Amino acid sequence: MLLASVPALSPSVALPTPSVLRQFDVAGPRYTSYPTADRFVDAFTAEDYAQTLEQRSGAGASARALSLYVHIPFCESLCYYCACNKIVTRHKSKGGEYLSYLAREISLQVDKLGRGARVRQLHLGGGTPTFLDDAALRTLMAMLRDAFSLSPDGEYSIEIDPRTVDRARLVTLASLGFNRLSFGVQDFDPDVQKAVHRIQPASQVFDLMSTARGLGFDSVNVDLIYGLPRQNPASFDRTLEQVCALRPDRIALYAYAHLPERFKAQRRIDTEALPDAAAKVEMLSRSIAALTAAGYVYIGMDHFALPGDALAVAKRQGRLHRNFQGYSTQPDCDLVALGVSAIGRIGATYSQNAKTLEEYYDLLDQGRLPVVRGLALTRDDVLRRTVIMAIMCQGRVDFETVGAAHLVDFAQCFAAELQALRALAAQGLVLLSDRHLEVTPLGWFFVRAIAMVFDRYLQADRNRTRFSRIV
């Protein structure tokens, strides 16, 4: 794929108007993969996954670096908005039991993959990874270092609930090799925090950020959510002011998706307190304006970064990549996923572990890999994945390059899609020629909608309620 330089937003670039945001206030995939996880099937088994690991080990692919994801499902308290796979408990002993099963899974994976595979990227997610105490985190990292070879120049990140860490814990994380942190903030407004059952004073986050800076972490991300109960444009403006003063390297700005029929925790939210669609659009519009005015570069979808951050540099240089954890500066590589519900990718396959702790433990007790579903990609899937990831990451697709790589006539193969893109081109979201398509600076705000044009499954199935909204 041709890696073209992508222009960053400048103050002179027109930002999306509320009317345009309303137009694209539709549901659609986030494209951390293509095909998306809702297309995974039970027919893809643990035996299929084991075979892909063996093929990777024996076909020279082992020379390529890996990415690792470890899912820690435990949380000490319930956040009402949460849609993650989590287990709420204050019993720290559950963390030790979980690590013993993770050790079994790692052993089973290494048996097929080979010991010492090189890793350039590691991410601990959840749940709340910092539910594990210092001793447990040391045990986990020792297990991973024993099974894999962690590159000294790799990217090692962990998600943090600011309520569960202090300076001593950040010192421990730095000593374990973590060089990137992600703080879950969501909103600084006390009324909003109370409504979603997540009380954390802004001063606590500011103190942790100061400590992280002093300890030399390469990058700190802050997660925000708009559309929560008791939020309004004015209150969220105040949160944005505080976040800009906090000056994290990266900001993830997510839209809250209220799906109480799917996520039990959300049933505790007072639906009467939720902002309406117009207020959500206004919050997004004002957020974009505030963050770009504060000097942040819009990366794509819901991500912003300071110009000097590695993510912004990668976007300028056309080196962005995307995996199940979102945008990444690391080269596109296979992803080994560990833990309950974790999703991985090896070659042209995706796999997902058992979603419940009971089933995850049961499969490992039987000496089996805990993979319960997945997907082996077709030739068309691989072709469309190339196109969609090029749109999502580089913002450009060179038709001849893609055609040559996949032995297709791009214009003929995607005639209907190119026709559909003309409407987006007329709105200034893409530049379209006979040779390539390019996402404009304005189009980056709706990059998911552009990528959706090439999603064969989505075009055949208009039921999109299972996806979050684009804006």
**Per-residue pLDDT reduced to its tens digit, 244-298:** 999 999 999 998 988 899 899 999 999 999 999 889 888 988 998 999 999 999 8
What pLDDT score was predicted for residue 32?
84
List the end-to-end C-alpha distance of the chain, in Å, as a whole number: 28
Q: Which of 146-150, 248-252, 283-287, 434-438 has the lowest mean pLDDT?
A: 283-287
Fold of 38-335: pyruvate-formate lyase- activating enzyme (3.80.30)
What pLDDT score was predicted for residue 7?
37
CB 297 within 8 A of CB 291: no
Q: Read off the tokens for 292.
A: 């770009």
Q: What are the strands, taking DSSP E only, across 7-94?
A: 66-72, 74-75, 87-88
What pLDDT score was predicted for residue 57?
82
pLDDT digits 0-9 by tens, 223-252: 999 999 999 999 999 999 999 999 999 999
* Cα 430 versus chain centre, distance: 24
In sequence order, the 6+-apart residues with CB closer than 8 A to the CB of 404 are none
CB 155 within 8 A of CB 194: no
Query: Is 375 a residue whose pLDDT tops 80?
Result: yes
In sequence order, the 6+-apart residues with CB closer than 8 A to the CB of 98 are 72, 73, 74, 339, 357
Report the alpha-carbon distance of residue 254 to residue 275 in Å, rounded: 15
Would you place residue 60 in the very low, low, confident or very high pLDDT band (cuts 50, 70, 90)? low
Q: Say whether 198 sits in a helix, a strand or coil.
A: coil
Strand partners, 375: 350
Q: Is domain 1-35+379-471 classified as CATH 3.90.226.10? A: no
| Ranges of each domain in the chain | 1-35+379-471, 38-335
Q: What are the strands, taking DSSP E only, across 13-141?
A: 66-72, 74-75, 87-88, 117-126
What pLDDT score was predicted for residue 14?
63
Report the alpha-carbon distance of residue 211 to residue 166 in Å, rounded: 9
What pLDDT score was predicted for residue 25?
73
Looking at the chain, the whole-number percentage of residues with pLDDT higher than 70 is 94
Burial of 109: CB neighbours in 10 Å, binned 0-12, 13-18, 19+: buried
Query: Is 379 a residue whose pLDDT tops 90?
Result: yes
Q: Which of 4-8, 116-120, 144-148, 403-407 has the lowest mean pLDDT?
A: 4-8
Q: What is the mean pLDDT of residues 140-159?
A: 96
**Residue reference for tokens 């700005």:** 253
